[in-house]
Amino acid sequence: MKVVTVVGARPQFIKAATVSRAFAHARGFDERIIHTGQHYDDNMSDVFFRELDIPPPARHLGIGSGSHGAQTGRMLEVIEQVLVEEQPGLVLVYGDTNSTLAGALAATKLHIPVAHVEAGLRSYNRRMPEEINRVLTDHMSDVLFAPTRGAAANLAGEGIDESRTHLSGDVMYDAALFYAEKAESESTILHELGLAPGEYVLATVHRAENTDEFERLDAIFYGLAATSADIPVVLPLHPRTRAALERERLLGEAEEHLMIIPPAGYLDMVTLETNARLIVTDSGGVQKEAFFYGVPCMTLRDETEWVELVELGWNRIVPPTGPEAVRDGIKLALAAGGGRPGQPYGDGHAAERIVRILANGGHR
Which of the residues are catalytic?
206
Q: Which residue in the set 138, 289, 305, 352 belongs to the binding site for ligand UDP (CB under 6 A)?
A: 289
* Contact residues for 44 (Cβ-Cβ < 8 A; gap 6+): 9, 10, 239, 263
Q: Which residue in the set 286, 290, 295, 297 belongs to the binding site for ligand UDP (CB under 6 A)?
A: 286
Stretch near ligand UD1 under the rule CB under 6 A, chosen from 4-12, 27-35, 225-233, 292-300: 4-12
Query: Total residues at the site for ligand UDP (CB under 6 A)?
Result: 15
Minimum distance of ligand UDP from residue 11's CB (angstroms): 4
- The three-state secondary structure class of 342 is coil
| Cα–Cα distance, 72 to 96 (Å, whole number) | 12
Residue type, 268: D
| Cα–Cα distance, 78 to 63 (Å, whole number) | 9
Residue 216 binds ligand UD1, judged by CB under 6 A: no
| 166-205 positions binding ligand UDP, by CB under 6 A | 204
Sheet of 201-204, strands arranged across: 259-261, 233-236, 201-204, 278-281, 297-299, 315-317
Q: Specify the residue, 8 or 284, whose C-beta has the smaller distance to ligand UDP.
A: 284
Residues 240-259: x/- map of binding to ligand UD1 (CB under 6 A)? x--x----------------
Minimum distance of ligand UDP from residue 246's CB (angstroms): 18
| Cα–Cα distance, 128 to 136 (Å, whole number) | 13
Residue 120 binds ligand UD1, judged by CB under 6 A: no
Give me the half-sphere count of Cα atoms (radius 13 Å) on the Cβ side of residue 222: 14
CA neighbor of 95 nearest in space, from 160, 151, 37: 151
Exposure string for 139-177, b = 16+ CB within 10 A, e = fewer: ebbbbbbbbbebbbebbeeeebeeebbbbbbbbbbbbbe
Minimum distance of ligand UDP from residue 92's CB (angstroms): 17
Query: Total residues at the site for ligand UD1 (CB under 6 A)?
Result: 18
Contact between residue 195 and residue 159 where contact means Cβ atoms under 8 Å apart: no
Residue 299 binds ligand UD1, judged by CB under 6 A: no
Stretch near ligand UD1 under the rule CB under 6 A, chosen from 53-61, 91-99, 164-172, 339-347: 91-99
Residues that bind ligand UD1 (CB under 6 A): 9-11, 38-41, 44, 65, 96-98, 129-130, 206, 239-240, 243
- Which residues contact ligand UDP by CB under 6 A? 10-11, 14, 204, 206, 236, 263-264, 266, 269, 283-286, 289
